[in-house]
Structure 1
Amino acid sequence: MEKRIINPWQWQDERSYNQGVEVKQIESTLYCAGQAAVHPDGTSSDADMRTQLLLAIHNLEQVVSQAGFELKNIARLNVYTTNHPEFFSCFDIFTEWIAKNEIKQVSTVVEVKTLFETLSVELEATLVK
Structure 2
Amino acid sequence: MEKRIINPWEWQNERSYVQAIEITNPEGTLYISGQTATNTDGMSSIGDMKSQLIESIKNLEKVINEAGYECKNIVRLNIYTTSSEELFTCFNIFQNWITKHNIKQASTLLEVKSLFQTLKIELEVTVVK
Fold match (TM-score > 0.5): yes
| Deviation for aligned residue 1:83 | 0.3
Kindly state the Cα deviation for residue 126 of structure 1 after the two structures are TM-superposed.
0.2
Q: How many residues were matched structurally?
A: 129
Aligned mates of 1:70, 1:102 — CA distance in 2: 11
Give deviations 1:32-55, integer Å, cap 9, x for gaps: 000000011110001000000000
Large movers: runs of 4+ above 2 Å = none
Alpha-carbon RMSD: 0.4
Distance (Å, rounded) in 1 between the aligned partners of 2:56 and 2:27 = 27
| Structure 1: gaps spanning 5 or more residues | none
2:33 alignment partner, SS class: coil
| TM-score where L is the length of structure 2 | 0.99
Map 1:12-23 onto structure 2 (within 5 A): 12-23=12-23
CA distance in 2, matches of 1:104, 1:19: 10
Aligned partners of 1:89, 1:108: CA distance in 2, in Å? 18
After superposition, the C-alpha distances for 1:86-107 in whole angstroms (9 at most, x for unaligned) are 0111100000000000111000
Q: How does 1:46-125 map to 2 (within 5 A)?
A: 46-125=46-125
In 1: Cα distance, 2:119 partner to 2:12 partner: 27
TM-score, reference length from structure 1 = 0.99
Q: Which residue does the alignment assign to 2:39?
A: 39
Unaligned runs of 5+ in 2: none
